[in-house]
Amino acid sequence: MLLYLGLFSPWRALSASIGAHPLAVKLGILWLVAVWASWMLAPFCSLSNPLCLMRLAETITHPLFFLILWHFFSEHKVDYALIILALLGATVLVMGYFVYIHFAYSGLHADRGTFSMRSSHLWLNTHVHRIGYQVETAILMSTAFLFDRKSRGRIFPVLLLLFLFLIWLGGRAALLGTLVGLAVLFVHFWGRRAFVYMLIFSLLTTLALFLLWRYRLVDFGYMGRIFERTFHVSSLDHLLSGRVHLWKLLFHELQGHWLFGNGPQSYYFYADRPLEVIHAHNFVLQFLGEWGILGAGSALALLVLAWVYGMRQRRSARREAVAAADWRLAAGVTLLGLSVTGLFGGIYFFSQSSLFLALGFAVWLKR
């Protein structure tokens, strides 16, 4: 961000672009005040606590990154295909590394859903359990290629590979968001020529899944156990893998702190939280827990305003180039899918997935 601001000096144009949306500015200022107050009044940690400071920095810099990205996309001609190809390349690279770990180091149990692997044998020690979010983003953003005659033949096998990997990975939240996004595209293109391509993709995916399962070419055991647990549960909390308990804990700790919340990274300091859980696994409740009603309300209002503005941009741009319209639609579907996933995961919490959101919003809101 500093490099962009230093080289291009877009201060005047950026401030003019932001100033053209007074309601968003007011909501943004209200949100910043709430975030700052939640940090100053945080009941669980001191002002100098490094975890709280790091989370505060992330909270403020993520929207700033979106603003700069949005301004750059609006002011300059951008090759979105190149950006998404870079995302696809990175996704395939991480997928390949995950598959390598799975088969080369079976003792790490990479297929059990936690994927938080630490080992002296690995050249890259990292958390790879959020790869599902990246695969989801890559699938939904890449749907724009399906409507380009030159690209659809090459993107079909890539999308098929990504979707099959997501199923094998067994991430229900990422899979749900992906399916919601694809379903919206189905409805949007119902009765149009593009619908045929979506239908072909679905049939090929179903056929590939059947062949892989029938001839045992891929072990879908973990995903099978996930579905079995989903449809044979004794309680809602069991169905949601303990999410209800996490949400109840947040409401319990919010007593007496409803207006400004418990401060940045506060979930980490809850006394009764499960040891491995550091956030609420729901972006609405995460907002509420960290910033209270004031911060969560203004943040959600900004998200709704952004969604409405993007819809208006799409409807008013009747003479928009077909390719640009496809990218805008793909970005909107990506935001919808990630937000659905965010109702059960940390989409709006982790820095990696926040980058995907910033990219999606920047394309969705591009002038």
d(CA 296, CA 298): 6
Question: Given this model, what pLDDT does residue 276 score?
Answer: 76
Q: 104 near 41, Cβ under 8 Å?
A: no
Cβ atoms within 10 Å of 266's Cβ, excluding its own: 28
Q: 142 near 71, Cβ under 8 Å?
A: no
What pLDDT band is residue 66 in, cutting at 50, 70 and 90?
Answer: very high
> How large is the average pLDDT for residues 308-318?
79
Question: Given this model, what pLDDT does residue 322 score?
Answer: 56
pLDDT tens readout for residues 276-298: 788 899 999 999 999 999 999 99
pLDDT tens readout for residues 240-264: 667 888 899 999 999 989 999 999 9
> How large is the average pLDDT for residues 165-193?
84
Question: Given this model, what pLDDT does residue 141 score?
Answer: 94
- For residue 277, give the amino acid letter: V
In this prediction, what percent of the chain has a pLDDT beyond 70? 82
Q: 137 near 356, Cβ under 8 Å?
A: yes
d(CA 242, CA 271): 17
3 state DSSP class of 190:
coil
**DSSP per-residue string spanning 45-101:** S-TT-HHHHHHHHHHHHHHHHHHHHHHHHHHS---HHHHHHHHHHHHHHHHHHHHHH
Q: What stretch of H or E contains 178?
A: helix 172-188
Over the chain, what is the mean pLDDT? Answer: 83
What pLDDT band is residue 114 in, cutting at 50, 70 and 90?
Answer: very low
> How large is the average pLDDT for residues 6-33?
90
0.85 surpassed by pTM: yes
Strands (E), the chain: 116-117, 126-127
31-to-24, 221, 250 alpha-carbon distances in Å: 10, 45, 20
